[in-house]
């Protein structure tokens, strides 16, 4: 019965969606927006991550904007909370873009291809009744069934616009905690009331309550989140409050352990990806390039990783060599940091490319839509659609070809087009005299 009431409450929204789609013209029929939640049953005040993907359903290549963050103005969410009419989800942070930045966000999707990202909907801004101000609140704050859907809207004067499509509906059942979960929730609530914040934050005050939950009720459903956010607090201690000290190093080590424990519990979910990324950054802050590289590789190859996650991994891998993470923590960088190297085949196949080894030529061929690249292990040049690119680092180790992260970034940029290329530092250049593609 509750499902029916939620469905009926969407009718006005669906009518608006149809109007927007008609206004958007033929572009709306070329893509669909897909929404998925890592699970459908929650306890009150649990954090929530959803995955969104824009998919090309046309039979030709279609351009989109890769702006899939809440607050971007392109991706929006609408919520039906128990007993409420549909309302817009208001993110805690919003962004604005120049025309140049919008143009640099254009990528191309082949037929059937999608671009995805994870969205953290744990907190939102809500208007304070009777007052002209907003406060931060947890989305899943009352028990009952919630309906969530998303829209992907591009104005007419933006690149690739006009466009307006709605996603499928996702329904979540939120229950009151009981037993150890209730006891843990009461501890978390006591902390948020003291600090005048929500349950989930990286403040030093709330950290005491996370420790209490983990000490007294480690088996509760809230414990995994307490680990992640306590890890966030310790991480901040290491790079800010205790920057460059022995205590700061200990805080970073503690943060990495908390992140990894949370990631192990939430394996192959958007939450697990976030926790693993946190552990990778702590390792990088500590100067442990090998561990950071291994964790980022784990994220890149995770079934739960989105395209946006993989872009972030490549950016962080590129920064590892420079020692910028260590400097952020106030630590002395090693005089020479090893350049990260990743397995070419597994990374390329995770992006949907085909990889073939030429036993006669001793080269690796990577192929995709509008992409054909040839890489010779041990050489510092690669061919991308017939154009030589220099600055490549490759090697053959244990019968597998390993390459610098910039090689994967180049393949990804070539695949998606100019808008993706601007996301990465230009570490690979065309060889002198090479013909422009």
Question: What's the CATH code of the domain at 294?
Answer: 1.25.40.10
- Residues 171, 287: one domain? no
- Residues 417, 284: one domain? no
**147 strand-pairing partners:** 80, 171
Question: What's the CATH code of the domain at 419?
Answer: 3.30.457.10
The reply to whether 268 falls in a domain is yes
Range of the domain at 205: 179-328
SS3 content of the chain, % helix, strand, coil (to 5): 40, 25, 35
Angle between the N-to-C axes of helices 246-265 and 270-285, in degrees from 0 to 180, rounded to the nearest 10: 160
Domain boundary among 266, 293, 328: 328
- Residues 17, 143: one domain? yes
Task: Domain count for the chain, please give it.
Answer: 3
The reply to whether 333 falls in a domain is no
Q: How many CB atoms lie within 10 A of CB 177?
A: 20
Question: What's the CATH code of the domain at 140?
Answer: 2.60.40.2970
Residues 6 or more apart in contact with residue 221 via CB below 8 angstroms = 43, 46, 177, 181, 184
Compute the CA torsion angle 138, 176, 189, 49 (nearest 10 deg). -30
- Residues 132, 40: one domain? yes
- Residues 185, 319: one domain? yes
> Over the chain (437 residues), what is each successive 10-residue block's mean pLDDT?
38 42 57 94 96 96 93 94 94 89 92 95 86 85 97 93 95 97 95 73 89 97 96 94 93 97 92 96 92 95 95 90 84 66 93 91 89 90 88 85 90 87 67 43
Largest CA distance in the chain: 76
Angle between the N-to-C axes of helices 223-236 and 179-195, in degrees from 0 to 180, rounded to the nearest 10: 30
The reply to whether 336 falls in a domain is no
Domain boundary among 147, 175, 203: 175
**Burial track 361-373 (b if 16+ CB lie within 10 A, e otherwise):** eebbbbebeebeb
- What pLDDT, on the 0 to 100 scale, is given for residue 17? 45
Angstrom CA distances, 332 to 6, 140, 329, stand at 56, 43, 9
How far apart (Å, rounded) are the C-alpha atoms in residues 329 and 29?
48
- What pLDDT, on the 0 to 100 scale, is given for residue 196? 58
């Amino acid at each position: 019965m509750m499902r029916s009431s939620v469905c009926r409450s969407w009718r006005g929204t669906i009518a608006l969606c149809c109007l927007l789609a008609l206004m958007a013209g033929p572009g709306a029929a070329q893509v669909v927006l897909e929404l998925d939640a890592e699970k459908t049953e929650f306890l009150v005040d649990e954090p929530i991550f959803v995955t969104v993907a824009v998919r090309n359903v046309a039979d030709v290549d279609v351009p989109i904007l890769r702006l899939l963050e809440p607050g971007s103005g392109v991706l929006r969410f609408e919520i039906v909370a128990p007993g409420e009419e549909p309302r817009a989800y208001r993110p805690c942070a919003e962004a604005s873009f120049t025309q140049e930045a919008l143009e640099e966000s254009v990528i191309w999707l082949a037929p059937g291809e999608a671009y995805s990202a994870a969205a953290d909907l744990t907190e939102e801004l809500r208007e304070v009744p009777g007052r002209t101000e907003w406060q931060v609140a947890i989305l899943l704050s009352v028990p009952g069934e919630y309906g969530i859907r998303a829209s992907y809207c591009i104005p007419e004067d933006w690149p690739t616009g006009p466009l307006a499509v709605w996603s499928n509906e996702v329904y979540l059942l939120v229950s009151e905690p009981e037993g150890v979960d209730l006891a843990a929730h009461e501890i978390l609530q006591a902390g948020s009331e003291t600090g005048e914040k929500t349950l989930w934050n990286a403040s030093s005050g709330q950290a005491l309550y996370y420790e209490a939950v983990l000490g007294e009720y480690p088996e509760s459903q809230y414990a995994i989140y307490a680990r992640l956010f306590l890890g966030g607090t310790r991480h901040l201690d290491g790079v800010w409050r205790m920057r460059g000290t022995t205590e700061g190093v200990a805080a970073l080590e503690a943060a990495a352990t908390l992140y990894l424990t949370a990631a192990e519990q939430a394996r192959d979910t958007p939450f697990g990806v976030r926790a693993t990324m946190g552990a990778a950054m702590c390792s990088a802050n500590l100067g442990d390039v090998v561990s950071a590289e291994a964790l980022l590789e784990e994220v890149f190859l995770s079934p739960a990783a989105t395209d946006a996650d993989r872009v972030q991994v490549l950016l962080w891998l590129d920064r590892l060599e420079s020692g910028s993470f260590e400097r952020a923590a106030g630590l002395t960088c090693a005089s020479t940091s090893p350049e990260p190297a990743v397995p070419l085949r597994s990374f390329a196949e995770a992006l949907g490319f085909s990889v073939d080894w030429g036993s006669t030529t001793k080269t690796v061929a990577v192929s995709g839509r509008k992409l054909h690249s040839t890489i010779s292990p041990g050489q510092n040049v690669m061919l991308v659609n017939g154009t030589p690119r220099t600055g490549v680092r490759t090697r053959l180790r244990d019968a597998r070809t390993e390459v610098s992260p910039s090689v994967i970034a180049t393949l990804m940029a070539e695949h998606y087009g100019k808008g993706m290329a601007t996301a990465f530092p230009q570490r690979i250049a065309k060889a002198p005299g090479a013909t422009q593609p």
